[in-house]
Structure 1
């Protein structure tokens, strides 16, 4: 299967010219890509899928440093109500789609990596987890290291723990939980029963 040139470039860490991601953000994206590549290889995925997983990781925050209000105008109407810090994923996916990337699973993973989606396949779930488990992040280091170690062989269980933890954190903070996140959680609960 041939991949769009943007996807091929991203798998190697080369971002599109329209990227708005500073040096620290790019370092994060590289760490996430390293996790994703290792997990895909460990899962026995073929070369093409390893490339897609690495590309999704490099592209997930490609617009993270862009102005949220500018991004709001670039996302589909159904997603314009998302909080500003969550618009970069949908905006990046839309920009990639317009550029000719037609890999629906990759676009969905990029679009919903901050909130989750009940429609995620393995790529989306892995990106959701790898973004949270970036070894460069400093919170809860022991727990996150343990999850990273388990992820290659227990990805769904690890994602389930992460989603549950993030929902609990939002509840404890008195924050709003997006319906997409709840739908993601409910889908995972259904799969476990």
Structure 2
């Protein structure tokens, strides 16, 4: 590969404190790859593109941490364990000097959504759901992923709807942030 080709490869720099399995690392790489593709197609500034890549690389940095660690990190004793890795990673990133609020908000809320997100949070929310390694609705999700650069807001709304439908179908509860997000996009 030429140096130019290497620069097009997805950037995947996980923090030293990350707790991820190989399977999770592969998911993160696919999310970053999708974000990179969209950023290029949308001709984002290098600052915004780096924010998208960093949010993608760091969103699941603590996804495979155990419950006691996540509860200690967040101080949250009530939310379901599956909702704590984003807030825990955001807290850890702040402790290590991250100051971009849009990146921190994207990571903190990527599992439930947030009405005040910038495009960084919206893009991460979509990429986390649409990444091609997931086994469900592959053709539909691939179509939506390919449409993001052409209809960002419309695809975002559709992803919010699909994620809510999935949560209801699976008997999961809806976080208040998720309901607020739906109310803001419908």
**Who is 2:4 aligned against?**
none
Match of 1:89 among 81, 86, 89: 86
Q: How does 1:91-170 map to 2 (within 5 A)?
A: 91-170=88-167
> Take 1:146 and 1:95, find their aligned partners in 2: how far apart are those partners?
35
Cross-structure match for 1:176: 173
Aligned length: 177
Name the residue aligned to 1:12.
Answer: 11
The gaps in structure 1 that reach 5 residues or longer are: 1-10
Residue 98 of structure 1 and its aligned partner are, at CA, apart by: 1.1
Whether the 8 Å CA contact 2:11–2:32 is kept in 1: the answer is no
Structure 2: unaligned runs, 5 residues or longer: 1-9
Aligned to 2:38: 39
Structure 1-normalised TM-score? 0.87
Secondary structure of 1:20's match?
A: coil
Q: 1:116-157, CA deviations, whole angstroms, 9 ceiling, x for partnerless residues?
A: 101111110000000001111111111101101111121221
- SS of the equivalent of 1:73 reads helix
Structure-2-length-normalised TM-score: 0.90
Q: Matches of 1:83 and 1:175 in 2, distance apart? A: 10
Name the CA distance, whole Å, in 1 between partners of 2:73 and 2:106. Answer: 18
